[in-house]
């Protein structure tokens, strides 16, 4: 397997070339949210430091059987010595989701992260034209599966 630092740098460079996303959300059997739908849009990449990149995502999301809604998200990627951290930018503040660590095939959460009562975990697979990021959220009211497809320009 390639050195961890080389793998981190390769993914770091790829993150900076993302231009669009699509995603789907699927509730699991224990979900109380029923959050099922699909979204897509554009990504503006902002390099905010040597070890931080922000994805400003704008597009539309459609809950199953409903009218499309405008959506806007900020995700913050941070390079660490062992991997790449992902946080969600909420009201200007980063909310940590998980850190992805290189595996022999792809990337996986170092460990599930606890946020209040919920556990967040993720996996990333690089593709020829970007990468796919799957994450799960499990908790007393949540059983959610999110599948993001990020594509490069």
Element (H, E) at 138: strand 130-138
Query: Quick one: pLDDT at residue 2?
Result: 61
Domains and CATH numbers, the chain: 4-128+141-152 (2.40.128)
Instruction: Spell out the long-range contacts of 82-91 with Cβ–Cβ below 8 A and sequence spacing 24 or more.
Output: 82/4, 82/110, 83/4, 83/8, 83/107, 83/110, 84/8, 84/11, 84/12, 84/15, 86/122, 89/54
Among 96-100, 101-105, 115-119, 134-138, the least confident range: 115-119
pTM score of the predicted model: 0.90
Instruction: Tell me: pLDDT of 71 over 80.
Output: yes
Instruction: Spell out the long-range contacts of 110-114 with Cβ–Cβ below 8 A and sequence spacing 24 or more.
Output: 110/82, 110/83, 112/138
Question: Residues 2-59: pLDDT tens digits?
Answer: 688 899 999 999 999 999 999 999 988 888 887 899 999 999 999 998 899 999 999 9
């Amino acid at each position: 397997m390639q050195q961890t630092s080389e793998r981190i740098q390769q993914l770091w460079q790829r993150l900076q070339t993302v231009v669009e996303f699509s995603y789907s959300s699927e509730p699991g059997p224990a979900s109380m949210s029923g959050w099922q739908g699909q979204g897509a849009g554009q990504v503006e990449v902002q390099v905010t430091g040597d070890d931080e990149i922000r994805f400003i995502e704008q597009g539309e999301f459609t809950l199953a059987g409903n009218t499309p809604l405008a959506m806007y998200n900020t995700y913050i990627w941070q390079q660490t010595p062992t991997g790449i951290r992902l946080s969600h930018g909420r009201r200007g503040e980063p909310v940590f989701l998980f850190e992805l660590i290189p595996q022999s095939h792809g990337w996986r959460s170092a460990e599930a992260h606890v946020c209040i009562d919920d556990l967040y975990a993720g996996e990333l697979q690089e593709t020829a034209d970007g990468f796919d990021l799957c994450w799960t959220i499990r908790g007393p009211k949540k059983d959610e599966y999110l599948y993001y497809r990020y594509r490069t320009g």
